């Protein structure tokens, strides 16, 4: 069979390989589904390179769910250990150089995360400092908010939003 693994040096999804240095974005998740085959789980992982090339791995399991979850957990753990740290370094480096990094609807800047606040007649953009942001992760949904701005809220799925998980770790760094 084909090899699917993430090592210190590379992501190998079947015949396709990407070096860890080239990885810029990741997303992964498990989604429950029910169809004519009965209840199942859909496993997905996408890795995106600096040239925007994308390696995708996805499958649906209806039997041996525990074994499938175990296999996916191995890939998740490897992604957290080998891919997230360099992705965070790249994002922080981009922010330090004054670039805007878009993660889902969140426009990230060196000063913080930009929110568009909808008013009655118009909307305004505000940047909430990193230190003030609250972040939570529940059922695969990432929520970013500013407790002092009721309408400052971003919600995104970590399974379908590139680097949502990286945003979680970025904000978490400022929480101590």
Give the DSSP letter of residue 67.
Answer: H
C-beta neighbour count of 137 within 10 angstroms: 13
List, in order, residues 6 or more apart from 69 with CB less than 8 Å away: 30, 41
How far is the C-alpha of 45 from the C-alpha of 170, rounded, in Å?
20
Digitized pLDDT (tens) for each residue of the chain, 176 residues in all: 899 999 999 999 999 999 999 999 999 999 999 999 999 999 999 999 999 999 999 999 999 999 999 999 999 999 999 999 999 999 999 999 999 999 999 999 999 999 988 888 888 899 999 999 999 999 999 999 999 988 899 999 999 999 999 999 999 998 76
pTM of the model: 0.91
């Amino acid at each position: 069979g084909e090899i699917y693994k993430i090592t210190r040096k590379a992501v190998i999804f079947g015949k396709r390989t990407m070096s860890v240095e080239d990885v810029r974005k990741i997303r992964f998740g498990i989604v429950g589904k029910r169809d004519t085959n009965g209840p199942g789980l859909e496993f997905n992982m996408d890795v995106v390179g600096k040239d925007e090339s994308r390696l995708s791995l996805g499958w649906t399991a209806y039997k041996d769910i525990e074994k499938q979850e175990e296999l996916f957990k191995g890939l998740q753990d490897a992604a957290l250990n080998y891919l997230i740290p360099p992705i965070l370094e790249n994002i922080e480096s981009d922010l330090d150089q004054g670039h805007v990094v878009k993660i889902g609807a969140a426009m990230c800047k060196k000063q913080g995360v930009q929110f568009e606040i909808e008013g009655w007649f118009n909307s305004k953009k505000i940047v909430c400092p990193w230190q003030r942001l609250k972040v939570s992760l529940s059922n695969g949904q990432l929520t970013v908010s500013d407790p002092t701005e009721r309408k400052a809220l971003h919600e995104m799925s970590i399974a379908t939003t590139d680097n949502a998980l990286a945003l979680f770790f970025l904000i978490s760094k400022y929480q101590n």
